[in-house]
């Protein structure tokens, strides 16, 4: 009897582990991306977005593997949209840096940068990947940029765009 219970426990753990090994499916829908799929999503979005003069895209941000509780190295999975969102965040930071750098120096480049920043509310980084509080924050930032508040831009760049340089 004890042996039979042990077999049932081992089988149950095995089945649970097999079901949890790859959290990529939910009701038949893919919910997570492996690093290669995330990178493809990121690069597809970088092809669509234009950066300011002289700015270049960084490589896709693939996170390093990490050891699980047993010390086995595991790769990362990414939520669908993470690569796209990261590309859009880097795009925003690049244009914000352009606006702050050109403000008071080159009116045409400053205007172009502000025109690009005004596009954020139409992008998924804002509409899909940001919560209400973050959208309010972006709206308030844009209002400050419209008034020429370069300090707000520098603060945002320093606190939220460290990955984008």
pTM of the prediction? 0.78
Whether residue 142 lies inside any domain: the answer is: yes
Q: Is residue 154 part of a domain?
A: yes
User: What is the Cα–Cα distance from 107 to 99, expressed in whole angstroms?
Assistant: 10
Q: What is the pLDDT, as a whole number, of residue 7? A: 35
How many domains does the chain contain in total? 1
Task: For 55-73, write each residue's pLDDT tens digit.
Answer: 999 999 988 888 878 888 7
Give me the pLDDT at residue 129, please: 93
Helix 107-117 and helix 82-102, axial crossing angle in degrees, nearest 10? 150
12 is a domain residue? no
Residue 11 lies inside a defined structural domain of this protein: no
22, part of any domain: no
**Domain of residue 107, residue span:** 29-164
Give which of 24, 134, 127 is closest to 84, Cα–Cα.
127
With b for 16 or more beta-carbon neighbours within 10 A and e for fewer, the 60-74 pattern comes to: bbbeeeeeeeeeeee
pLDDT below 50 — which residues of the chain? 1-23, 165
The pLDDT, as a whole number, for residue 27 is 63
Q: What is the pLDDT of residue 74?
A: 78
Which residues face 73 on adjacent strands? 67
161 Cβ contact partners less than 8 Å away, ≥ 6 residues apart: 93, 96, 97
Q: What local confidence, expressed as pLDDT, does residue 67 receive?
A: 81
Helix axes 107-117, 132-146, angle to 10 degrees: 160
Q: Is 16 inside a domain boundary?
A: no
* 54 falls within a domain: yes
| Six-digit token string for 147 | 């008034």
Start-to-end C-alpha separation, the chain: 64
User: Six-digit token pair at 107?
Assistant: 């009116």
H or E stretch at 24: none
* C-alpha closest to that of 94 among 8, 160, 32: 160
Indicate whether 19 belongs to any domain: no
CA distance 157 to 164: 9
């Amino acid at each position: 009897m004890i042996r039979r219970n042990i077999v049932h426990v081992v089988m149950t753990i095995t089945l649970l582990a097999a079901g949890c090994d790859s959290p990529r499916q939910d009701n038949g829908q893919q919910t997570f991306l492996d690093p290669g799929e995330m990178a493809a999503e990121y690069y597809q979005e970088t092809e669509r977005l234009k950066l300011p003069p002289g700015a270049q895209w960084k490589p896709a941000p693939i996170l390093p593997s990490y050891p699980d509780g047993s010390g086995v190295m595991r790769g990362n999975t990414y939520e669908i949209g993470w690569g796209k969102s990261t590309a859009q965040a880097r795009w925003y930071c690049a244009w914000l840096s352009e606006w702050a750098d050109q403000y008071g120096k080159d009116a045409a480049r400053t205007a172009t940068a502000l025109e690009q920043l005004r596009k954020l509310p139409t992008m998924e980084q804002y509409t899909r990947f940001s919560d209400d509080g973050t959208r309010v924050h972006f709206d308030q930032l844009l209002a400050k940029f419209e008034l020429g508040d370069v300090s707000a831009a520098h603060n945002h760049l320093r606190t939220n765009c460290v990955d984008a340089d």
